[in-house]
Amino acid sequence: MIASPRQPYLTSAQYLQMEEQSIVKHEYVDGQILAMVGECDAHVTIALNLASSLRSHVRGFGCRVYISDMKARIESRIAVLLP
């Protein structure tokens, strides 16, 4: 079995600078960049339905819901449960 070579660690600033020039969207996870898959009709429909439902659920909590094209920095991976 051949191991995939690991990309060098990138800082978030390096990632953002690279992403400004890229024609392909990427995700940044723990110093690694991962190409994001292109959308299809089913994916976009599911995403819209999920975002619409989520937006209704968090209304009044001061939260915002984005469907795409918004970069967000997640500091930790803990689950937050809303009533």
How would you write the pLDDT of the chain (83 residues) with one tens digit per residue? 565 566 788 888 998 999 899 888 888 888 888 888 777 888 889 989 999 999 999 999 888 888 877 777 777 766 666 65
Which of 7, 49, 53 lies closest to 30, judged by CA?
A: 7
Domain range annotation of the chain? 1-38, 39-68+78-82
Q: Tell me how far apart the alpha carbons of residues 16 and 19 are, in angstroms, rounded to a whole number.
A: 5
The per-residue pLDDT for 57 is 92
Q: Is 62 helix (H, G, I), strand (E, B) or coil?
A: coil
- The amino acid present at 71, given as its one-letter code, is K
The per-residue pLDDT for 56 is 93
Q: Is 16 helix (H, G, I), strand (E, B) or coil?
A: helix
The per-residue pLDDT for 62 is 87
The per-residue pLDDT for 2 is 60
Give 69's DSSP letter: S
Which of 30, 37, 38, 34 lies closest to 73, judged by CA?
A: 30
The per-residue pLDDT for 4 is 58
